[in-house]
Structure 1
């Protein structure tokens, strides 16, 4: 389903005039810097392409910047990927982020949050959330899961494409999902290991690490927490759960934030996971939202001027900027409470500021 939706986005019907797409600006007091890193795990071959001897990953690191003067804003996607998406007749121009390339980091050590995207999606799909957290003093590391993502461009210009094999039966699908989650957990733990060696390491407080993700990325957050106690708090944005964590549960804080229809009746894995959470637990639903509401497509798709029947199945009926603002508030409140020991009062009861959030 996710890949089919993404294919629709990439093959969007051309519009009459060129539209420059944009992301909502961050809300925090800090300017945002961003750097990318090419990481090579020489301890394992690529799990999806047998001819690749080592697992290669790309990550982006978003962080509060001391100054952005003289540092240009980063594009939403790399040039090679942009060329595949933004064809001459597409009718739109891809957005520029609010992160400034290689800007000097703000003084101090900041809590770290890892981000894993949905199945078949790229690390860029969570940019609106990542750069907002960075503007509020977090270091956010967004991870591309190579050959699971549609496109991953490496510094030498190579573009790795999706290599997930097709499945024919429910049993094969279950096995594939299990493998994909295992790969993502291993990817994330490797990235976490490598953070200590990055130039920005002196600005990262690796004793305060959280993780969140969209769809399968949310399941990966739970799976990584089970496997690695360095992750102190986790959050799933509208993703089904799978793997050992369903029965093992978690003993640290975890938040389930779902779309309007994502409840126990629609997804029994949410009920099972909820019942096995032994740490502080939270569960909420966002009225008017749909599955891709928890990605940048929430604000990008409506900007294309497409008819509602092409947009609403993906991102719901909720206003895009309003949806992003709500998600930013609750995601930040969760990590503020559990990585910074702030009050996070939004998490405890319905708020008149955000009536779209329901506590089922």
Structure 2
């Protein structure tokens, strides 16, 4: 992969959230696959003014899930003794932090934090967020998630969906999607890919920083996507081979497994499906393929959900991927969206008082939730969703490209 392509795709990959980049880094409002926009450039310019302005008061709140269940949450720590960490081999075997979100009984458990204080401090430090932003480790960790630690699980077995975040983004940036899926009867594994972002708190209490973020011009994104695919298969192993990795693993229906990812996490979805036949359906959310799958490699349901056409250089490889995909497939784009419309990023950016793209951030999250859930309902539960049949007057922003 050439250096110019890497740099274009890497512009803004240094953002945990759109809000973090807008406050701290000129011209880096997006992650992995998206070039700078005038909206985020304006935010970065505003952030570059002298910090004499009074500190903002930031309190983030994610939207409530829309299903009949509450979203229970538990953080687990897994160690893959079969391979050393790919980025820091001297650290020993690959260690992962995974947030499990599951269907729970309403009114049980206690409010779950967005992230640990150490993870939030890593974000603030790496992004060099000024005090005037109002974004502190405490305020970032305290974002209202609508998930509940220790909540009592609903009885039954549910499809498992793995979620992988964008390049340099911790797992928490897909919390809105995770809680909504859980409320509709899914067990969700939010995977933190160690050493690939501003910090994931491990079982030993350490929160190591990113080991691969500083030289995008030499980073092999294909290798990162392939490593994430191995992370995903390992998590599936741990959640389906007995009940030792997680005490609620009995909730998982091991025969109904899907995976979704944002940006580089979307590339990992394709890699996982090529390598692991247990995964029955995949969703690439606004991510360049690394590499594009070959014809015949993926013959299971696949959804491509992206931002406004023409705003990214990844649509050429999406055309190639579309041709190669077999089985049920859909390609949707969302008018007025940007790269972080599909994660928690734009919503939290707006709540912090900074500009957002034309698409209202709450609409971006609602659309992402609705279409990803409809796709998994159809692919993993066998519930036909008319939403996937064609354009809907209730969602005029969503365009069916194929």
TM-score, normalization: structure 1?
0.91
Q: 2:61 corresponds to which residue?
A: 22
Please list, as runs of the form range in 1=range in 2, the aligned pairs for 1:1-360 lying within 5 A after superposition. 1-6=11-16, 9-10=19-20, 12=23, 13=47, 16-69=55-108, 71-85=109-123, 89=131, 90-92=133-135, 93-94=139-140, 95-164=143-212, 166-167=214-215, 172-173=218-219, 176-196=220-240, 197=243, 198-243=246-291, 245-246=293-294, 248-261=296-309, 267-306=315-354, 308=355, 311=356, 316-360=357-401
Residues of 2 paired with 1:237 and 1:280: CA distance?
17
Q: Number of residues paired by the alignment?
A: 348
Shift of 1:244: 6.2
Residues of 1 paired with 2:145 and 2:110: CA distance?
10
Q: 2:5 corresponds to which residue?
A: none
Q: Is the 8 A contact 1:298 1:324 kept in 2?
A: no
Residues of 2 paired with 1:155 and 1:209: CA distance?
26
Shift of 1:156: 2.9
| CA gap 1:8/1:142 in 2 versus in 1, 3 angstroms | closer
**What secondary structure sits across from 1:232 in the alignment?**
strand
Q: Is the 8 A contact 2:18 2:349 kept in 1?
A: no
| CA gap 1:146/1:279 in 2 versus in 1, 3 angstroms | same
Greater per-residue strand proportion: 1
Q: Is the 8 A contact 1:212 1:221 kept in 2?
A: yes
Residues of 2 paired with 1:118 and 1:341: CA distance?
29
**What secondary structure sits across from 1:120 in the alignment?**
coil
**What secondary structure sits across from 2:200 in the alignment?**
strand
Residues of 1 paired with 2:177 and 2:228: CA distance?
20
Q: Is the 8 A contact 2:16 2:170 kept in 1?
A: no
Q: Is the 8 A contact 1:263 1:270 kept in 2?
A: no
Residues of 2 paired with 1:259 and 1:184: CA distance?
23
Instruction: Give deviations 1:230-272, integer Å, cap 9, x for gaps.
Output: 1000001000112262455410000000000268975311011
**What secondary structure sits across from 1:75 in the alignment?**
coil
Residues of 2 paired with 1:288 and 1:131: CA distance?
24
Higher relative contact order (CA 8 A, sep 6+): 2
| CA gap 1:210/1:266 in 2 versus in 1, 3 angstroms | closer
Shift of 1:195: 0.5
Residues of 2 paired with 1:74 and 1:288: CA distance?
32
**What secondary structure sits across from 2:153 in the alignment?**
coil
TM-score, normalization: structure 2?
0.82
Instruction: Give deviations 1:81-135, integer Å, cap 9, x for gaps.
Output: 1234467934142212111112121000011100011111111010000000101
Instruction: Give deviations 1:42-82, integer Å, cap 9, x for gaps.
Output: 1111110131121100001100113543x211111112112
Q: Is the 8 A contact 1:246 1:269 kept in 2?
A: no
